Amino acid sequence: MKYLKIIGKNKISGEVIISGAKNAALPLIACTILAKNEISIGNLPDVVDINTFLKLIDKLGGTFQKNEGRVTINPSTINKTTATYDIVKTMRASILVLGPILARFGYCEVSLPGGCAIGQRPVDLHLKALEAMGAKIVINHGYIEASAPDGLKGAKIVFDKVTVGGTENTIMAAALAKGETTIINAAKEPEIVQLCEVLANSGVKIEGIGSSKLIIQGSNKELLEIKDFDVIPDRIEAGTYMCAAAITNEKLKISKVIPLHLESIISKLEEMNFQVLQDEDSVTILPTDEIKPVNIVTTEYPGFPTDMQAQFMALATQANGVSTIDERLFENRFMHVSELLRLGADIHVNGNTATINGKANTLKGSDVMATDLRASSALVLAALVAQGETNIHRIYHLDRGYEDLEGKLTKIGAEVKRFTE
Ligand code: EPZ
């Protein structure tokens, strides 16, 4: 297994170029299943989850060619309808093929995604939406078996809870359904907006893009002609490097971003007394005299993202005073706390709220273990300001979602090396 060795307290400076968004690219690759033509996708992040999803497309019978940040997918040869356990167990996002495969073939089996390090993460809302569109769904030997032999029909779907993946699956299913689908309480994340825009540019009529009410006119099983597109920048990767600047209290430019997607992150950094300069496609974080504590509640977009909670917790250890973080989306997303404690942080957890007693220059390098993608990036951030050497084990989590993390950090002055245990 690989681990990262980080020597803390190096000065960082310069510019980080942000890659395409993993969480946008995954549903966008899934949506190619709805098409009859070859589609070229640019600004594709080179991370493990994307490669796993492409492997799934291959297993379904599709073909693809990947080279230098671009993939060309030919979905016309897709002829299988099962997402098997071996793939789903490594990546829950495999559930995103359920809507498009079912809509195209009238049948789909997906191995039931289990809970994961951040909580139970059920898929009941995905299934309820597809059932409302006429699918018959049974759970058999750990597989979701969905069928709609006469095709899916447009329906009115009211989500009890805002769900990113559930909204994506429903949008893709609705694109090939017969008639009109209305989604109420839809997720509004930029990744959803891009999925809608790609479909709309390819002829699907969608009203309400970017709002919580989407109205989609389906093609009645006629496959789409999807136009080539580039994946939007990764707002969570950008936020993570913004925290790298803040935690080391150095000036750093984060480029190739959409500042609008970073508003809640920028606003929390400003509350912590950092100045954030914004350009058309970059943000620059400036150092501050005093890092102030902050109170954060995670919520759906455009609120503060759960995917940035762990990184801000690392940052709050350096603030002058008491910060709180209230995690409202996932029930078990404080796994990084025990590892931050190993580095000397003073954090107390009570239910879904963490209280961080911050003080600059108190962290010391240690051996720590990565538990999920964002928890791992919090440990990397903490290691950048810890005195001495931190070894972060189980970094395969980081490789799932951060492209060239060592390369990007090394370029801005951090001392980071990868070793095999
Ligand atoms: C997406 O997961 C992201 N993953 C997650 O990013 C992100 O943390 C999450 O949205 C929230 O923003 C991808 O886009 C691939 P949800 P998703 O459905 O779609 C509950 C990362 O680090 N729920 O919006 O699985 C669920 O348990 C990851 O990149 C149900 O109860 O999240 C959670 O409490 C991790 N039933 C809440 O809704 C359902 O059927 C939001 O989950 C579906 C969800």
Give the pLDDT mean for 267-286. Answer: 98
Predicted local distance difference test score (pLDDT) of residue 50: 97
What is the average pLDDT score of the chain? 97
Tokens read off for 99: 């809507």
Side chain identity, residue 66? K
* CB within 8 Å of 138: residues ≥ 6 apart: 145
Is the model's pLDDT at 116 over the cut of 80? no
Do β-strands 136-140 and 143-147 pair in parallel, antiparallel, or remain unpaired? antiparallel
Tell me the CA–centroid distance for residue 118 and ligand 1, in Å.
10
Is 116 a residue of the active site? yes
Q: Give the closest residue (by CA) to ligand 1 atom 19.
A: 165
Side chain identity, residue 345? A
**Confidence tier at 54 by pLDDT (50, 70, 90):** very high
CA-angle at 86, arms to 80 and 92, nearest 5°: 90
Is the model's pLDDT at 114 over the cut of 80? no
Spell out which residues line ligand 1, taking CB within 6 angstroms. 23, 26, 93, 119, 121-126, 161, 163-166, 306-307, 329-330, 373-374, 401
Is the model's pLDDT at 21 over the cut of 90? yes
421 or 131: which carries more pLDDT confidence?
131
Tokens 């379904």: give the residue. 60
CA-angle at 214, arms to 209 and 216, nearest 5°: 100
Tokens read off for 10: 């190096």
Is the model's pLDDT at 282 over the cut of 80? yes
**Angstrom distance (rounded) from CA 379 to CA 402:** 14
| Helices (H) then strands (E): counts for the chain | 14, 24
pLDDT tens digits along 340-363: 999 999 999 999 999 999 999 999
Which ligand 1 atom is nearest residue 49's CA? 15
pLDDT tens digits along 191-210: 999 999 999 999 999 999 99
Which ligand 1 atom is nearest residue 161's CA? 38
**Angstrom distance (rounded) from CA 66 to CA 402:** 18
First-last CA distance in the chain: 6
Q: Give the closest residue (by CA) to ligand 1 atom 43.
A: 123
Is residue 113 reached through a cis peptide bond, with omega within 30 degrees of 0 on the bond before it? no
Give the pLDDT mean for 116-126. Answer: 86
- Backbone phi, psi, residue 7, to 5°: -95, 120
Q: Reading across the β-sheet that carries 275-278, which strands appear in turn?
A: 15-17, 252-255, 282-286, 275-278
DSSP state at residue 96: G
HEC string for 307-350: HHHHHHHHHHCCCCEEEEEECCCCCCCCHHHHHHHHCCCCEEEE
Which three-class secondary structure state does DSSP give residue 35? strand
**Confidence tier at 259 by pLDDT (50, 70, 90):** very high
pLDDT tens digits along 64-102: 999 989 999 999 999 999 999 999 999 999 999 999 999
Neighbours of 215 (CB within 10 A): 16
271 or 68: which carries more pLDDT confidence?
271
Nearest Cα residue to 340 out of 317, 324, 360, 361: 317
Which ligand 1 atom is nearest residue 26's CA? 15
Is the model's pLDDT at 218 over the cut of 80? yes
Predicted local distance difference test score (pLDDT) of residue 376: 96
**Confidence tier at 382 by pLDDT (50, 70, 90):** very high
CB 98 within 8 A of CB 126: yes
Tell me the CA–centroid distance for residue 148 and ligand 1, in Å.
26
CB 236 within 8 A of CB 378: no
Tell me the CA–centroid distance for residue 150 and ligand 1, in Å.
30
**Angstrom distance (rounded) from CA 409 to CA 420:** 19
Give the pLDDT mean for 285-298. Answer: 98
State the pTM of this model. Answer: 0.98
Give the pLDDT mean for 289-313. Answer: 98
H-helix or E-strand containing 86?
helix 85-88
H-helix or E-strand containing 36?
none
Neighbours of 160 (CB within 10 A): 10
**Confidence tier at 115 by pLDDT (50, 70, 90):** low
**Confidence tier at 117 by pLDDT (50, 70, 90):** confident
